[in-house]
Amino acid sequence: MKHYFACILLAICLRAAEKPAKQQSTCAPVSSTSNLFIVTIDGLRWQEVFSGADSILISREKFTPDTSTMKSLYWAASGNERRRRLMPFFWNVLAAKGQLYGNRLFKNKVNSTNLYSISYAGYSEMFAGHADISIASNSKRSNPNFNVLEYLNQKNGYAGKVVAFTSWDVFPFILNRKRSNLKINSGYENMGEIDGQESLVNMVANAVSNKTETRHDELTFITAKEYMNKFKPAIVYIAFGETDEAAHVGRYDLYLEKAAQLDRMLAELWHWVQSTPGYANNTTLLVTTDHGRGKGAKWTDHGIFVNGSSQTWLGVIGPRIKALGEIKEEGQVYEKQIAQTIASLAGEYFTSEQNVAAAIPLR
């Protein structure tokens, strides 16, 4: 027990020692849209988002067995070209028409504030609006913290129109499905009320032989699309997880492939939004991650003693969001601010028994 608290104290000291960057400039909150899509990409580092493939990791056969093919796909001399090769939607659309935060090369920082830099703690902070020191593992226990999605689901304009589709099967506990009554499809669960074309999705999911706690992201996305086409929800949360899975097994090639695949899914999602009546020009998309990762050989890991684990990023695009692109001015925002930002983008103000951090001052 003493060793445990010593570890916590050391972590607090390490976090406190970091030089704080100045706050992002404050300004009036952006006006809301009727629909909001929130997408998280588990454990995707800011380094790949803003600079593309890492020169060392893509060249080491330990992490990238087929370096030749991966370099043909994702390598270029400049970071700007590498990031466009890896994530063209991010840089051709989101950066062109929205805002991207977290490029630490410009001292523009996004950080989690929970001590542990693990997924459950990160998602809880993200949706509850504060960090909870008691959430120290990824165990499947119901989250005691009230979250912004269940708050919005209680509002007249959004009641019954808030849904979540998640690859990782811990989300029903993170979002406390029993208490919140949110519509959540997670892991390899079937969607009970769907039929016709959607039932084929269930059949494919059931046929997967090697099921883990993280469903294939493409199945998560297809299930979400079929539900959206049929029921037209107003607030949709989609949580992808295979980037983190690939990193934990030390496969940088698969990590890059999953990142590229998710970028294509985001492009397809945004095209669907912009070409669907009721969503076109009336929807905001927010994309972020739950935690960062280490550097060099430590890229596979994250956690309380892995430097870089609290470093995240955030992107947002929508008809009320100014097209500022990559934010290159010094500033600091935090993961705990995302909950109130979600509420603000939906035209609401999130309150709970805990102190909820202020919204990110988007422009």
| pLDDT, tens digit (0-9, with 9 covering 90-100), for 222-279 | 999 999 999 999 999 999 999 999 999 999 999 999 999 999 999 999 999 999 999 9
> Coil, helix or strand for 139?
coil
Q: Which pLDDT score, from 0 to 100, does residue 203 have?
A: 67
Burial of 276 (0-12, 13-18, 19+ CB in 10 A): middle
Instruction: Kindly give, in sequence order, each residue whose CB lies less than 8 Å from that of residue 243, ignoring residues fewer than 6 positions away.
Output: 41, 42, 43, 44, 255, 258, 259, 262
Neighbours of 268 (CB within 10 A): 13
Q: b/e per residue, 224-263, with b = 16+ CB within 10 A?
A: bbbbbeeeebbbbbbbbbbbbbbbeebbbbbbbbbbbbbb
Residue 147, Cβ neighbours under 10 Å: how many? 25
Within 10 Å of residue 14's Cβ, how many Cβ atoms?
Answer: 14
As a whole number of Å, the CA-based R_g of the chain is: 19
In this predicted structure, what is the pLDDT of residue 14? 43
Under a CB-based contact definition with an 8 Å cutoff, are residues 306 and 115 in contact?
no
Name the phi and psi angles at 315, rounded to 5. -130, 150
CB atoms within 10 A of CB 69: 11
Q: Report the distance separating Cα 145 and Cα 125, nearest Å.
A: 9
Tell me the pLDDT tens digit for each residue of 115-160: 999 999 999 999 999 999 999 999 999 999 999 999 999 999 999 9
Residue 4 confidence (pLDDT) above 70: no
Cβ partners under 8 Å of residue 50, min gap 6: 79, 83, 100, 102, 103, 105, 313, 326
Strand ranges (E), the chain: 35-41, 99-101, 108-111, 162-166, 183-186, 235-240, 283-288, 311-312, 314-317, 325-326, 331-334
What are the extents of the domains in the chain? 21-345
Tell me: pLDDT of 192 over 80. Answer: no
When pLDDT is cut at 50, 70 and 90, the band that residue 205 belongs to is confident
Per CATH, the number for 21-345 is: 3.40.720.10
- Residue 297 tokens read as 């050989």
In sequence order, what are the beta bridge partners of 162?
A: 235
8 Å CB contact between 260 and 286: no
Mean local confidence (pLDDT), 195-208: 66
Tell me the per-residue pLDDT of 294-332, one tens digit each, with 9 for 90 and over: 999 999 999 999 999 999 999 999 999 999 999 999 999
Strands 283-288 vs 314-317: parallel, antiparallel or unpaired: antiparallel
Q: pTM for the full model? A: 0.91
